[in-house]
Amino acid sequence: MSQPATSAHSQPSPHFPAHTLDTAPAAVRPALQRTAQKFGFLPLPVARFATSPLLVRAFDELLALFEGATLSPVEREVVIMVVATENGCDLCRAMHRGLLLRAGAPPAVAAALFERAPVPDARLQALAAFTEAALRERGQVSDAELDAFVRAGFTAEQALEVIVGIGTFTLSTFANRMTRSHALR
């Protein structure tokens, strides 16, 4: 588990201003508008991502690919919650807890993932455990871990989709940490 942010890392960075839809580079405005529409506001991390049109484009395209996975919306959010937890992005955990509930997850599932507790749904717990193993082992999961994932009703294709989710949200959480957008204030 990551160490909590120090006070120096909780302060805004002078290098990454919080852009608005008006101040962001023109190339990133459509992606920022989609994000603002999804959340009802422009989240601070995305506002700071606008400093790099390449980062915004990479995250936007990876996110679109991950949203096309065969994993359900709830399952994708489980992957995201595990990545956010493991990568120490408390703001991500809070934002995605809300998206997990909007996707239809039971409140007990969202609470368990947020609190880093066992998930009270066997299939989703298997997904969370597999995602944790894939992160911990940098993708080199054991046959036993992959077998447990498949026994829970997932497929080999979905195991690789978990990797897409890990990549997408590792990009996001690392950028959040660099821009100092990861801590709840």
Question: Could you read off the pLDDT of 132-166 as tens digits, one per residue?
Answer: 999 999 999 999 999 999 999 999 999 999 999 99
Domain boundaries, the chain: 73-177
Domain 73-177 fold: AhpD-like (1.20.1290)
Q: What is residue 109's three-state secondary structure?
A: helix
The tokens describing 37, both together, are 């529409």
Residue 5 has pLDDT above 60, yes or no: no
Q: Are 113 and 145 in contact (CB under 8 A)?
A: no
- Whole-model pTM? 0.86
Give exposure, 75-91, as e/b (b: 16+ Cβ within 10 Å): bbbbbbbbbbbbbbbbb
pLDDT bin (cut points 50, 70, 90) of residue 11 is low
Q: Are 109 and 119 in contact (CB under 8 A)?
A: yes
CA atoms within 13 A on the CB side of 45: 25
